[in-house]
Copies of this chain bind each other. A is one copy, B any other.
Amino acid sequence: MAATPEELVDIEAIRQLKARYFRLMDQKQWDDWRDVFVEDVEIRTPDDTGDPTPIIGRDVFVDGLVPMIDAVPTVHHGHMSEIAVDGDAATGVWSMEDHLWWPPESGLGHMWGTGWYEETYRRCADGAWRIATMLLRRVRIEADGAQIFPRVVA
């Protein structure tokens, strides 16, 4: 169903919210990055971690992730949003691609992947949209050019 002109304002706000999600992460601006999520955000990255259990809470999520990637150059690109607004709630799907250059001592090398974010958003009391739930599904992840997801079964 087509969006209304009023909903286009919300769609653009959510699009720029997700743009800040990507940019602030890659620029390591963690205080501003924290603010793109609702306090009780629910994060799932099962294809990356092998763990389907959601992480609940932006402080738990951000405080856990920052020590892992603060010193790691990262590039996260998002594409082709499908956003639908319903009052103060919204859903979105984004195609994505990312690069991480882990330090030599990690043995992880250059990690590259693609997939989709399936998300919901909430219009908060201050009028700003924030990410409420985020699920990252993967098509493929490579480490130094070798496929690591989908897991290769010998």
Residue in B closest to A18 when the chains form the complex, CB atoms: B80
Query: How does the 8 Å CB contact mask read for A74-108 relative to B, with 1 for contact and 0 for none?
Result: 11011111110000000001010101010000000
Q: Which of B11, B16, B95 contacts A77 (CB 8 A)?
A: B95
Q: Which residues on A are within 8 Å of B, measured CB to CB?
A: 2-6, 8-13, 15-16, 18-20, 22-23, 26, 73-75, 77-83, 93, 95, 97, 99, 101, 114, 116, 127, 139-140
Can you name 22 A-B pairs with beta carbons within 8 Å?
A2-B10, A3-B12, A5-B5, A8-B8, A8-B9, A15-B81, A16-B81, A19-B81, A19-B82, A19-B95, A20-B82, A23-B95, A26-B139, A73-B140, A74-B139, A75-B97, A75-B114, A77-B79, A77-B95, A77-B114, A78-B79, A101-B140
CB neighbours (8 Å) of A139 from chain B are 26, 73-75
CB neighbours (8 Å) of A6 from chain B are 5
Count of chain copies = 3
CB neighbours (8 Å) of A83 from chain B are 16
Is A3 in contact with B11, judged by CB distance below 8 angstroms? no
**Taking the nearest CB of chain B, how far is it from the CB of A139, in angstroms?**
5
A72 to B22 alpha-carbon distance, docked (Å): 29
CB neighbours (8 Å) of A2 from chain B are 9-10, 12-13, 127
Is A93 in contact with B9, judged by CB distance below 8 angstroms? no
A19 to B101 alpha-carbon distance, docked (Å): 29
CB neighbours (8 Å) of A5 from chain B are 5-6, 8-9
